[in-house]
Amino acid sequence: MSQRQIYLENLKSLSDQMIAIQAPIRILDSIKWPSEWRQSFFDSGMRSLPKADAQYYQSIPLDFNPDTKQQEFRDLKKAIRKKLGKQDALGKLLTSTTDQYIQVTEMLKARGKKDFGKYSVELYGSAQDHLFGDKRSLLEVGEQLCSIFSQPAAQHIAFAQPKDYDASGAVAILQKRLNRYFTAGELKVILSDGIVSDAAAGGDTIKMNSRARFSERDLRVLEVHEGWVHVGTTLNGRRQPYASWLSVGSPRIAAIQEGLALLMETLTFSSFPFRARRVSDRVSAIHAAEQGGDFVEVFHHLRDRGLPDGDAYTTTQRVFRGGMVQGSSVFTKDLSYVKGFVENVNFIRSAIGAGLPELIPMLFLGKITLEDIPVLYEAYLEGIVEPPRYLPEMFRDLNGLYVWFGFSNGLSLVDMKRVQKHYRKTFQQITPVCPLEMAPARIGGIDLDPLP
């Protein structure tokens, strides 16, 4: 057997071991809140702290022994260095993922305690963090986006879409659409009673909340966000002959995954201003909680920013799950959306500017970070890594994407303040009535009322 064959067999074996060891670790399942807490909070006049303390989290047993699991990861790290070498590039990626899972187990051991927030910041970051190569913090970027998506024009074009589909009907429609993108049978859309959001992807499955109803717009978003990105990258990772660990994601890949999903919503014109604003509000909520705001204070902070009560509760719950409802120790994963969106866009623009657009499809290779791409691209050239099978059309033929980002780069040089000042004078006499083709009064025979 050649040295290359030995190396590839070792890489495959170690990758498979990684997948097996991390399998029982389910972060969100370990910090979920019961649905009845929502009603209890509103029954209290929105003034009582949810009962999410360390004792409550102890009542949610982990499906593994944290100390035993950490030792398994440490043993795997030693095996990686021994079999692949301390300086092997792919081995370093595998080791970084191993280190992350060790931190994850520490974070879950600290559920409901101060250290939970410390480990969350180490894994997902803080609202005070800065973007790669940028002087602005995530909070500053989030506030800028919130301002954009809160402008009068965003409300002006908004119109209600009827929630025509119950969960069962939505499951059937989404399954049919995604069967056109994936090989039939590779992805399952199912009903679930155990998720907080309306829908969530896990592995090769999209779960739909059995209590939710869905609009056509909701289904378009789920198709590209959960389907094309989250499930698509999982299945692409599973098709790797040797680097099979690319099918599972530690926290290090969260920002790129969520940012890419948000970018796909944007490129397919599936998103809408209120949804886009929601991700920036999460940054503000995390910042307020990191600064010591408790659950009630952060909830009312979001209400004051204009969020409806239900959305304010959901966002606040996402921030405080696993941490301390008294504040300071919180779950910072939701920074991933804004951070990942900006960094994915910056990566694409930089790859085009550097004359390396061929790197862009690597975003869909599996569960990766941007820093992984140079190493994985070299492994692709060496025949170790397979290119992504499931790839949205605009990433398969990069001409349109190149033009889109090319114009974006060019227009960024325009002084928009001066331009807007010019057009405001032109628009002064226009009555602000939204055209019918933009805000139809009827869809599918149903009368629509504009959003308040």
Q: pLDDT of 168-206, one tens digit each?
A: 999 999 999 999 999 988 999 999 887 777 888 988 999
- 96 in a domain, yes or no? no
Q: How many domains does the chain have?
A: 1
Q: Smallest Cα–Cα separation from 107: which of 444, 366, 332?
A: 332
- 407 in a domain, yes or no? yes
Q: 305 and 283 in contact (C-beta within 8 Å)?
A: no
User: Distance between CA atoms of 58 and 38, rounded to whole angstroms?
Assistant: 20
pLDDT of amino acid 318 = 95
| CB-based contacts of 198-203 (< 8 A; 24+ apart in sequence) | 199/226, 200/226, 201/226, 201/227, 201/230, 201/231, 201/234, 203/231, 203/234
- Encoded tokens for 126: 């803080």
User: Distance between CA atoms of 316 and 311, rounded to whole angstroms?
Assistant: 8
Q: Average the pLDDT over each of 20-29, 85-94, 421-430 and give the range with the smallest value.
A: 421-430
User: Distance between CA atoms of 339 and 292, rounded to whole angstroms?
Assistant: 22
Q: What is the mean pLDDT of residues 104-130?
A: 96
Higher pLDDT pick, 433 / 379: 379
Q: pLDDT of 71-84, one tens digit each?
A: 999 999 999 999 99
pLDDT of amino acid 146 = 78
Q: What is the DSSP string of 144-178?
A: HHHHHHTSHHHHHH-------EEHHHHHHHHHHHH
What is the residue range of 53's domain? 26-63+110-411
Tell the burial category of 21 from Cβ atoms under 10 Å away from its Cβ (0-12, 13-18, 19+). middle
Residue type at position 284: S
Tell the burial category of 138 from Cβ atoms under 10 Å away from its Cβ (0-12, 13-18, 19+). buried
Q: pLDDT of 254-309, one tens digit each?
A: 999 999 999 999 999 999 888 888 889 999 999 999 999 999 999 999 999 999 99
Higher pLDDT pick, 149 / 102: 102
Q: Work out the mean pLDDT of the chain and round it to a whole number.
A: 91
Contacts of 364 (CB under 8 A, 6+ apart): 229, 232, 233, 236, 260, 388, 390, 391, 392, 395
Q: Average the pLDDT over each of 23-27, 154-158, 428-432, 441-445 and give the range with the smallest value.
A: 441-445
- 91 in a domain, yes or no? no
Q: What is the mean pLDDT of residues 86-112?
A: 97
Question: Does the structure show a pLDDT above 60 at 436?
Answer: no
- 339 in a domain, yes or no? yes
- 88 in a domain, yes or no? no
- 345 in a domain, yes or no? yes
Statement: the pTM of the whole predicted model exceeds 0.95: no
Q: What is the mean pLDDT of residues 217-223?
A: 95
pLDDT of amino acid 262 = 95
Q: What is the mean pLDDT of residues 89-104?
A: 97
User: Distance between CA atoms of 436 and 418, rounded to whole angstroms?
Assistant: 30
Binned at pLDDT 50, 70 and 90, residue 435 comes out as: low
pLDDT of amino acid 446 = 44
Q: 209 and 195 in contact (C-beta within 8 Å)?
A: yes
Question: Does the structure show a pLDDT above 80 at 157?
Answer: no
CA-based R_g, the chain, Å: 23
User: Distance between CA atoms of 269 and 266, rounded to whole angstroms?
Assistant: 5
Q: pLDDT of 312-344, one tens digit each?
A: 999 999 999 999 999 999 999 999 999 999 999
User: Distance between CA atoms of 130 and 140, rounded to whole angstroms?
Assistant: 9
Binned at pLDDT 50, 70 and 90, residue 444 comes out as: very low
User: Distance between CA atoms of 42 and 48, rounded to whole angstroms?
Assistant: 9
Higher pLDDT pick, 197 / 167: 167
- 276 in a domain, yes or no? yes
Q: What angle do CA 259, 261, 267 make, to 5 degrees?
A: 100
Q: 149 and 305 in contact (C-beta within 8 Å)?
A: no
pLDDT of amino acid 434 = 60
pLDDT of amino acid 432 = 67
- 449 in a domain, yes or no? no
User: Distance between CA atoms of 84 and 13, rounded to whole angstroms?
Assistant: 11
Contacts of 170 (CB under 8 A, 6+ apart): 208, 212, 213, 214, 218, 219
pLDDT of amino acid 202 = 86
Distance of CA 67 to the CA centre of its chain: 29
